[in-house]
Amino acid sequence: MKSGNGKIMSGKNKNDLWAFFSSVKLALFTFFALALASIIGTIIPQGGEFLHFVESRHLSSGTIKVMQALSLPDMYHSWWFVGFLSLFAINLIVCTIDRFPNLLRLVRMDNIALGVDRIVKMPQRRQWFTAAGVEDAESFFAAKLAGFGWKVRHGAHDGHTLLFAQKGPWTRLGVIGVHTSILLIFVGAIIGSSLGFKASLMLPEGTTAAQVYSSGNDNATIPLKFQLRCDWFELDRYDNGTPKDYRSELTVLEDGHEVLKKAIEVNDPLVYRGITFYQSSYQPIKGSYAVEISDKARNLSHRFFIRPGKEIKWPEAGVGFGIVEQRPLYPNSIRHKIWFNDPAGDPVEFWVANGSRVPVVRGGNKYEIVIKQMYATGLQVAHDPGVWFVYAGCIIMLLGLYVAFFMSHRRVWVVLTPTDDGRLKVNFNGSTNKNRVGFDNHFNHMAEELGADESINLTRE
Amino acid sequence: MTSSMLLGITTIAYLVASGLYIALLVFRVKKLGTLATGLTAVTFLVQTAAIILRWMESYRMGYGHPPLSNMYESLVFFSWATVIFYFGLELKFKNRILGAFAIPFAFVSMALASMFHPDAIQPLVPALQSNWLFAHVMTCFVGYAAFAVASGLGVMYLVKLKFQGKEGLLASLPELRVIDDIIHKTIVFGFLWLSAGIITGAIWANSAWGTYWSWDPKETWSLITWFVYAAALHARFTRGWGGKRIAWLAIIGFVAVVFTYYGVNFLLSGLHSYGSG
């Protein structure tokens, strides 16, 4: 007796817990809790801005300590916020497991064995009588329903002859799709944060890096299995001075060999070995300039990163050059006075506006010079093996929402029952789980056409 | 004719159209309804022309981008989307009185744009130069427009409920049951588009910055809005919520939308700062 009682008790407890975690009440609670907590995070600046915030508000050290104890400076990663997210995920998992069998039963249900009593009580119904025989009536309705676009199944149950057809039974699973998609996004996020990294890199033009710096609190260095070189950085501005484009020409090297070249821009990153390099910012390197000289006759070209007041040699072309003077150029640029020499004659000096391409004619040869500010390109670096789970989740969510909201499971039955006076009673019934109005119209339209068809002469009495 | 002039005309015409729809609600003269719908339709065409013209003007200035890049342009587009969504409702439910609760949103949005936001066509900063701009803004604003209309209908429901019995003035409003159904369908429609808007935003962020979600205030507020409507839908589907409670949720949801769209840009800082111009 005692043990039996205990069993019932533990079973009941388990059911209570299960019911709690699968309940919509819990879902509504977590929606509310997550929404409310998120508001806090948008009001209190997160991460690096937090210190600035507490200083500007002159908060007492006690308040700051409480905020730090609650992890408010990094709220979205705090134990309690992640706790709410976990609760949300558990709720989704349990609720899905809880409802799935029932939904699957509805999808796979044998609607012919449903029972005539239940079928004739479906929301949409018509009743007729006909003098036609069972086989004639059966083939008439089968042909008509097929004409309306239904795939008909035949059956018999308890002395009744039945026809059944349905559309979109699987659409009942749309809601499962939506819930699973959210879990898939969570999985992607967990994979991304545990196996991936976010980092950054400031890479001056002409230099090569083999490591990046984690964006996490530790700023740890993350070694790359290859090297990345910035060959050139270009900044384009609109007439009003705001940046139009910034572009970095990058080269990937493996053991000193060039394996990939790509010019990246914002919105157009470089991907190599699962690591993505995003153009995110730039920084001028004060007092340094990037020069590109092409020797047209010999089809040679070379880039130099230089400081003014020093002669630079390009032995390959026999050229020597340098910046000897600089002056501002209206409205927000500068120009450089270049000293230039090659074997063709005496050295020359000339002015070049920053960033513009100028020809230099020397004897029979022609050179082209462009000189501009030297920059370091700012790159965001990300490795996120979870992102495809997230994207898959996003697509499944949209499809699932569409199915769950805009598609329905529609069913129609025709039940043929012989009557005492030797005729046939015809019950035409239908049901839908959504969009009742639309289905009503469709059903009424079908019923009217069936009733008007004279081949088996359906009558109301 | 410049786009700015056409948009000026649009603002005034939506004001007049709002007045006509409200007059229809009060006086129940059928002709007013025809006039209101006619004026709104013509204004909508003018507004459409203005948006296309502005797009062309941006090409002439050498910038060449769809007019969805700052607060002024997005308010114009919000107004446009609200009107097209309202027309869909009017056609589907054959009821013009809904306009009294929808077209004022189109006017207010245009008025805000012209009063508080510079209308100069500006070049796109590099972060916005992406095909996702169009997809992201489009999806978000179709959703926002639906939510605006849903909240208008929520107000309609509550007004009708309050004066139930002593009708007279409000007899022309649809039955409570019908309003409730339209609110629900509108929220469902908006929710799908809001989800698509958040998703396109996440994909764009990932292709521009390498992170699809960074808890930036705009992202977070869009998620808060999503939770409000998700709660409303769950409460209806599984607990049978309807009527007054859904009407209130439609209003609360739209407050969250307004904050996501408008409030965040002025009260909180973040990645979306370019939207505040």
pLDDT digits (tens, 9 = 90+) for A251-280: 999 998 999 999 999 989 999 999 999 999
Provide the token pair at A239: 């007439």
**Looking at residue A454, what is its pLDDT?**
84
pLDDT digits 0-9 by tens, B109-156:
999 998 888 888 888 888 888 889 999 999 999 999 999 999 999 999
| Phi, psi angles (nearest 5°) of residue B101 | -110, 5
Q: How far is B238 from chain A (nearest CA, A)?
A: 7
Ramachandran assignment for A402, one of left (phi > 0), alpha (psi -120 to 50 degrees), beta (any other): alpha
Query: Is B149 within 8 Å of B102 (Cβ atoms)?
Result: yes
Domain check: are B158 and B22 in the same one? no
Task: For A393, name the nearest residue in chain B, comparing CA atoms only.
Answer: B199
**Looking at residue A447, what is its pLDDT?**
93
Residues of B with CB below 8 A from A280's CB? 209
Residues of B with CB below 8 A from A74's CB? none
3-state secondary structure (DSSP) of residue A68: helix
Domain boundaries of chain A, sorted by first residue: 11-105, 109-168+408-452, 205-251+278-374
pLDDT above 90: percentage of residues in chain A:
52
Residues of B with CB below 8 A from A76's CB? 215
CATH of A109-168+408-452 given 1.10.3470, 3.30.310, 1.20.950, 3.30.70? 3.30.310
Picking from A28, A242, A278, the nearest residue to B208 by CB comes out as A278
* Calpha distance A83→A414 (Å, rounded): 53
Task: For A239, name the nearest residue in chain B, comparing CA atoms only.
Answer: B123
Q: Do B126 and A41 touch (CB under 8 A)?
A: no
Confidence of residue A299 (pLDDT cuts 50, 70, 90): confident
**Looking at residue A330, what is its pLDDT?**
80
Picking from B126, B192, B206, the nearest residue to A401 by CB comes out as B192
3-state secondary structure (DSSP) of residue A56: helix
Query: Is B110 within 8 Å of B11 (Cβ atoms)?
Result: yes
Q: Do B127 and A266 touch (CB under 8 A)?
A: yes
Residue B274 has pLDDT above 60, yes or no: no
Domain check: are B274 and B227 in the same one? yes
Confidence of residue A5 (pLDDT cuts 50, 70, 90): very low
Domain check: are B25 and B75 in the same one? yes
Domain count, chain B: 2
**Looking at residue A356, what is its pLDDT?**
86
CB hemisphere CA count around A144 (13 angstroms): 25
Q: Is A436 on the interface with B (CB under 8 A)?
A: no
Q: Is A382 on the interface with B (CB under 8 A)?
A: yes
**Looking at residue B160, what is its pLDDT?**
86
**Looking at residue A345, what is its pLDDT?**
82
**Looking at residue B142, what is its pLDDT?**
94
Q: Do A246 and B210 touch (CB under 8 A)?
A: no
Picking from A41, A198, A390, the nearest residue to B215 by CB comes out as A41
Q: Taking Cα atoms as reference points, which of A173, A149, A178 lies closest to residue A407?
A: A173
- A219 exposure class (CB count in 10 Å sphere: 0-12, 13-18, 19+): exposed
Greatest Cα pair distance in chain B: 61
pLDDT digits 0-9 by tens, A91-146:
999 999 998 999 999 999 888 888 888 999 999 999 999 988 888 999 999 999 99
| Residue ending a domain, choose from B124, B151, B176 | B124
Report the relative pairing of strands A275-295 and A160-167 from DSSP bridges: unpaired
Q: How many CB atoms lie within 10 A of CB B104?
A: 20
The predicted complex's ipTM stands at 0.90
DSSP for B120-150, written as a single string: ---PPPGGG-STHHHHHHHHHHHHHHHHHHH
| Phi, psi angles (nearest 5°) of residue B219 | -60, -45
Query: Is B163 within 8 Å of B170 (Cβ atoms)?
Result: yes
Domain check: are B110 and B31 in the same one? yes
| Residue ending a domain, choose from B124, B142, B176 | B124
Q: Do A28 and B217 touch (CB under 8 A)?
A: no
Ramachandran assignment for B168, one of left (phi > 0), alpha (psi -120 to 50 degrees), beta (any other): left
Q: Do B235 and A28 touch (CB under 8 A)?
A: yes
| Phi, psi angles (nearest 5°) of residue A23 | -80, 150
Confidence of residue A209 (pLDDT cuts 50, 70, 90): very high
* Calpha distance A383→A398 (Å, rounded): 26
Domain check: are B26 and B157 in the same one? no
- Determine the average pLDDT of the residues in A183-212: 94
Query: Is B47 within 8 Å of B7 (Cβ atoms)?
Result: yes
Domain check: are B140 and B116 in the same one? no
Query: Is A385 within 8 Å of A191 (Cβ atoms)?
Result: yes
**Looking at residue B271, what is its pLDDT?**
52
Domain check: are B185 and B274 in the same one? yes
Q: Do A42 and B235 touch (CB under 8 A)?
A: no
Residue A1 has pLDDT above 70, yes or no: no
* Calpha distance A74→A56 (Å, rounded): 18
pLDDT digits 0-9 by tens, A172-185:
999 999 999 999 99
Domain check: are B115 and B143 in the same one? no
Query: Is A81 within 8 Å of A37 (Cβ atoms)?
Result: yes
| Residue ending a domain, choose from B107, B124, B141 | B124
Q: Taking Cα atoms as reference points, which of A438, A405, A415 lies closest to residue A165?
A: A415
pLDDT digits 0-9 by tens, B19-64:
999 998 888 888 998 999 999 999 999 999 999 999 998 888 878 8
Name A126's bridge partners. A428
Confidence of residue B276 (pLDDT cuts 50, 70, 90): very low
Q: Do A382 and B211 touch (CB under 8 A)?
A: yes
Residue A8 has pLDDT above 60, yes or no: no
Confidence of residue A4 (pLDDT cuts 50, 70, 90): very low
Provide the token pair at A194: 């545990």
Q: Do B215 and A238 touch (CB under 8 A)?
A: no
* Calpha distance B57→A127 (Å, rounded): 65
AA identity, residue A264: I
The separation between the first and the last C-alpha atoms of chain B, rounded to the nearest angstrom, is 24
pLDDT digits 0-9 by tens, B75-112:
999 999 999 999 999 998 888 889 999 999 999 999 99
pLDDT digits 0-9 by tens, A52-100:
777 777 778 888 888 888 877 788 888 989 999 999 999 999 999 998 9
Residue to substitute from A31, A265, A441, interface B, most B β-carbons within 10 A: A31
Q: Do A390 and B202 touch (CB under 8 A)?
A: yes
Count how many residues are written for chain B. 277
Residues 157-176 of A with CB under 8 A from B: none
**All residues at 6 or more sequence positions from A237 whose CB lies less than 8 Å from its CB, including other chains:** A243, A244
pLDDT digits 0-9 by tens, B230-270:
999 998 888 778 889 999 999 999 999 999 988 887 777 65
Q: Do A31 and B212 touch (CB under 8 A)?
A: no
Residue to substitute from B58, B185, B199, B261, interface A, most A β-carbons within 10 A: B199
pTM check: above 0.95: no
pLDDT averaged over every residue in chain B? 88
Residues 387-426 of A with CB under 8 A from B: 387, 390-391, 394, 397-398, 401-402, 405
**Looking at residue A13, what is its pLDDT?**
61
Domain check: are B61 and B114 in the same one? yes
Query: Is B272 within 8 Å of B264 (Cβ atoms)?
Result: yes
3-state secondary structure (DSSP) of residue A372: strand
Q: How many CB atoms lie within 10 A of CB B22?
A: 18
Task: For A438, name the nearest residue in chain B, comparing CA atoms only.
Answer: B92
R_g over Cα of chain B: 19
**All residues at 6 or more sequence positions from A400 whose CB lies less than 8 Å from its CB, including other chains:** A174, A175, A176, A177, A178, A180, A181
Structural domain boundaries, residue B179: 127-277
Domain check: are B81 and B177 in the same one? no
Residue to substitute from B195, B203, B264, B266, interface A, most A β-carbons within 10 A: B195
Domain check: are B181 and B231 in the same one? yes
**All residues at 6 or more sequence positions from A404 whose CB lies less than 8 Å from its CB, including other chains:** A171, A174, A175, A177, A178
Q: How far is B126 from chain A (nearest CA, A)?
A: 6
Q: How far is A377 from chain B (nearest CA, A)?
A: 14
pLDDT digits 0-9 by tens, A377-434:
999 999 999 999 999 999 999 999 999 999 999 999 999 999 888 889 999 999 999 8
Picking from A32, A41, A189, the nearest residue to B231 by CB comes out as A32
**Looking at residue B272, what is its pLDDT?**
56
Q: Do B210 and A276 touch (CB under 8 A)?
A: yes
Picking from A280, A390, A394, the nearest residue to B209 by CB comes out as A280
Q: Do B234 and A46 touch (CB under 8 A)?
A: no
Domain check: are B230 and B178 in the same one? yes
In the block, which residue shows the tokens 């700051």?
A64
pLDDT averaged over every residue in chain A? 88
